[in-house]
Amino acid sequence: MQQYSLFILPFILDQISTQLSPIIKQTIKFGNDKGPRARILLVGDHSLFEKFFGLYGEDEYAAYNGLSLYLNGIFSQLKSVFDNQLYFFNKFSLRLEMVGVPMIILRPEDCPLRGPLQNFISQHYLDKINTTLINSSIPLTNSSIQLQLEKQQKQMNYVWRSLDSLVAVQWASQWVKQNEPTGNLPMHEHLMIITALDLLSHRNDSSTQGMAYIVAAHELAHSIGASHDGFGESENCSARQNFLMTPVSASHPFDAKFGDTFGNAFILSKCSKQQIEDFFNSSDSNCLWSEEEGKNLFWSMLEEEFQLSLNALTKNGSNTFLFDDENYLLEEEKQLLNNKNRKEEEIKFLKILPGEQFNPSRQCQIAFGPSYGLCQRIDFLLLTSDPCRRLWCKDRRQRRWGPCETKGFLPLMDGSNCGDQKWCIRGQCRQMPGISEEGNKNSNNEENKSSGK
């Protein structure tokens, strides 16, 4: 069973996960003693790389490094929602494994969404411009031609940065079908494409919500059988309780009946849990119970891209995502790439949380754009009871006392500093002595860079 999701950075458009080519076998109860496993192929598309390229001063290497860290951070937090947290049948949790390293698309023609989009723009808009100029009933002056070109350019720019969500799903499906037979994609059960494109609904609105890893978990739960709380088989679980499968998450939820429900956003309701257990007990989940590795062509065909990512993650002696063994040599890593039987020899990274790597100002830039920084207005900051619950950002191009901005569900990233020896974890400021001092040092350096110090 192969599935995929499309993401808007740092948000996701709901209800566009689709199941491809389900494997139907006999009904099983449990396939192994370890529980279900889903191998995730994480793809950052060209629009996402383009966004980070702008955030990092058009430095391609720095952008690749930053995006690699960001995607690894999303995955580590996604794992934190499922691994050893959500238990099914009182026995198993869903084990998530990322295959290889995040795949970052550097060229638009290779992108699952921008490749077809590039062809569409070329065929539609450029032909339309030529037709307009040729078929004009009156002679066009240079200024008239310029106006026509500017109008078409604005339309092309809009099309280049937005896409109908259903079309996006179709193009993603085509991309998978084109690349899997050639061995360009590693073996996986679930593909997540993260994009900075604005994915539009049939009402022509983007309907985006939430922090990336929370809505990634939401969409993954859809793919393993869970529906929205308050609807269908989950109608007995109120959406007002703000569990993971609520249709719309909120950072500041208080319900007269259920009280403060913010913490529920990171866990499943009993209805969702039951639906997922039903899925795991059906033949549709057979592939998730298999431990078969098979031949992973990704490692042999994309060794050069892996080495680029490896170098980016360890640039300048960074302590972020260090190998467990400090003396681990790249030459030994090359040997692992050719080892088809590697299991326990998989690369293991130390757990440095994304908030330690991306300070709040950088988080604002990722959420809103390069001109944004952390809001300093006390009146906005006091609107939330916990500093980790909602990230407030300010457009630095606006006047100093202009309003700050946020999103419907935008907690600070896990690992963000919120006081002396305190860090944000799941939207709450906590005393967490286990978080590394080196991670804080990296975050402080990032803060100084983004503030121009």
> According to the model, what pLDDT value does residue 155 have?
60
Last residue in a domain, options 317, 351, 385:
351
CA proximity to 201, closest of 380, 443, 12: 12
d(CA 338, CA 276): 37
Q: Region 332-342: what's the mean pLDDT?
A: 40
> According to the model, what pLDDT value does residue 272 have?
94
Phi, psi (5° rounding) for residue 418? -135, 20
What is the span of the domain harbouring residue 97? 1-226+268-351
- Which segments are annotated as binding site? 218, 222, 228
Do residue 131 and residue 201 come from a single domain?
yes
Do residue 336 and residue 382 come from a single domain?
no
**Has residue 260 been placed in a domain?**
no
Do residue 36 and residue 116 come from a single domain?
yes
Last residue in a domain, options 351, 376, 392:
351
d(CA 387, CA 147): 49
Q: Region 374-391: what's the mean pLDDT?
A: 89
Q: Region 250-277: what's the mean pLDDT?
A: 81
Last residue in a domain, options 307, 323, 351:
351
- Which segments are annotated as binding site for Zn(2+)? 218, 222, 228
Catalytic residue among 50, 180, 189, 219: 219
Query: Strand 428-431 vs strand 422-425: parallel, antiparallel, or unpaired?
Result: antiparallel
288 Cβ contact partners less than 8 Å away, ≥ 6 residues apart: 1, 31, 36, 37, 38, 94, 189, 224, 280
58 is annotated as an active-site residue: no
Lowest mean pLDDT among 20-24, 29-33, 147-151, 191-195: 20-24
d(CA 95, CA 73): 17
- Which of 67-71, 79-83, 145-149, 150-154 shows the highest mean pLDDT? 67-71
Half-sphere exposure of 248 (CA within 13 A, CB side): 7
Do residue 64 and residue 176 come from a single domain?
yes
Q: Is 375 helix (H, G, I), strand (E, B) or coil?
A: coil
For residues 18 and 2, is the Cβ–Cβ distance under 8 A?
A: no
**Has residue 231 been placed in a domain?**
no
Do residue 446 and residue 343 come from a single domain?
no
Burial group, residue 323, by CB count within 10 angstroms (0-12, 13-18, 19+): middle
**Has residue 373 been placed in a domain?**
yes
Q: Region 26-34: what's the mean pLDDT?
A: 47
Provide the CATH number for the domain around residue 425. Answer: 3.40.1620.60
For residues 354 and 76, is the Cβ–Cβ distance under 8 A?
A: yes
Do residue 86 and residue 217 come from a single domain?
yes
- List Cβ<8 Å contacts ≥24 apart for 395-401: 395/368, 395/369, 395/371, 396/371, 396/372, 397/371, 401/377
